[in-house]
Structure 1
């Protein structure tokens, strides 16, 4: 019988793209399936407000797929979008943990 690996959804501010990448690598090497933000807007590659809204909705669907959510929050920082994602995850009963708890 094949056991399905745990699916972890990473959430966090785009400013933490490097830290999200590290968490993705660590979880993947530990055998988890990782779903994470696929686009990190940069000043050189801006996205429209419509694209930002679409990406936000897409990320909620990624949370739906996950067994749990890991919030990447160096220094304890949690922005508005991440706060919304945490509230959504909790409303669906997903466990939420943080790389930097209080």
Structure 2
């Protein structure tokens, strides 16, 4: 099998869009393939429906499946409900999980 870059799935609350973006940039510049939350609310966007949130949550679990490991972006140690579910899923599937801040 040919060598390939490491794949890291970033998890964390989209309220930390700047921190998520900074982690994505740092990993990408280090030669890592990054999969991350792809929909963050901005001022001009229409609200995301509950159905869309559910679908995006399921999609993010598939991103974890693709990854070699998970990096949780958790400024101040914050881990919300969705991120907690993603951490549990990653651990249940044997993915190493690390955090940007102590929990």
Q: TM (normalized to structure 1)?
A: 0.95
Matched residues in 2 for 1:61 and 1:24: separation?
A: 18
Residue aligned with 1:70, SS: strand
**Corresponding residue number in structure 2 for 1:69:** 70
State the Cα distance separating 1:44 from its structure 2 match: 4.3
Greater than 6 Å deviation, 4+ residue runs:
none
RMSD across aligned C-alpha pairs, in angstroms?
1.3
State the Cα distance separating 1:101 from its structure 2 match: 1.7
Q: TM (normalized to structure 2)?
A: 0.94
Matched residues in 1 for 2:95 and 2:64: separation?
A: 8
Query: Number of residues paired by the alignment?
Result: 102
**Corresponding residue number in structure 2 for 1:23:** 23
